[in-house]
Homo-oligomer: A and B are copies of this chain.
C-alpha cells in the first residue's frame, strides 16, 4: 500500500503561467490603447498600469479606466480606448491560456499510478473553475477546494483541513504542491509539501516518489 494517497495542487503559477499571462495581456492591452489614441509611450503607460494594479488590487475591474483618467483622456474618447484595452487583454489571455509543459502527462501518470488528485486554491469559485475548464484539466481532479467556498484562504490551516476531510485522507498521506509560501503552510498540519516554481512539471513525479521512499 502507498504511503501517499492524495496529491493536491495550487492552480495559478503551478498548473499554468498566470503571472506571465497577466503581464503579456496587460502589455498588449496598453499597446492597443495607445493605438486607439492614448497619447503616451508604451514604457511609462505600462509602468503606470502596474502601479494602478498594485494600488487597487488585481481583481479590481477598472484598471484601464484609471489609466485613461491618469492620462487625462477626453471624456468622449475614454470608453473607446478602454474597450480597445479590454478586447486585447481578453484576446491575449484566451490565446495564451495553456498548462505548463508536461502538466497533462504528469497528471495522467499520477492518476495511473493510483494517486487521487485534488485542488486547493485561493480565489473566487467560478473564476478558479473557469481556469480549470479552459486549461482542459478539470477531469483529472477528484476534489476541488476553493477559498471562497470554504470561507478561509491559504495559508490558514482551515482550508487544508477542509480538503483532507473531503478527501477522507490523513495529513501524512497527502502532498501539497504549489509555488508560494502559503501553499507550504500545509506542513503545519502535517502534510508533505513540494515547492514548484519552475516549469518542468514532469519532475513532480520524482518528487512524489522521493516522498514515498522517505517513508
A17 to chain B minimum Cβ distance, whole angstroms, is: 19
Number of this chain's copies in the assembly equals 2
- Answer whether residue A50 sits at the interface, using C-beta atoms and an 8 A cutoff: no
User: Which of A104-112, A125-133, A194-202 is found at the contact surface with chain B?
Assistant: A125-133
Interface size on A, residues (CB 8 A): 25
- Contact residue among B80, B84, B87, B125 (Cβ-Cβ distance under 8 Å from A79): B125
Chain B neighbourhood of A129, CB < 8 A: 79-80, 82-84
Contact indicator A126/B86 (Cβ below 8 Å): yes
Contact call A83/B133, Cβ cutoff below 8 A: yes
Instruction: Give A92-110 interface residues, CB cut-off 8 Å to B.
Output: 94
For A79, A130, A134, A146, the residue with the greatest tally of chain B CB atoms inside 10 Å of its CB is: A79
List chain B residues, Cβ under 8 A from A142: none
Q: How far is the CA of A146 from the CA of B133 in the complex (A)?
A: 35
B84 touches A146 (CB 8 A): no
A182 an interface residue at 8 Å Cβ cutoff? no
Interface residues of A in 38-94 (CB under 8 A from B): 75-76, 78-80, 82-84, 86-87, 94
Contact status A138-B79, CB under 8 Å:
no
A interface with B by C-beta (< 8 Å) = 75-76, 78-80, 82-84, 86-87, 94, 125-130, 132-134, 138, 144, 146, 148-149
Provide 25 A-B residue pairs closer than 8 Å at the C-beta atoms, listed in order of the A residue: A75-B149, A76-B149, A78-B125, A79-B125, A79-B128, A79-B129, A79-B146, A79-B148, A79-B149, A80-B129, A80-B138, A80-B144, A82-B129, A83-B125, A83-B127, A83-B129, A83-B130, A83-B132, A84-B129, A84-B133, A86-B126, A87-B130, A87-B133, A87-B134, A94-B94
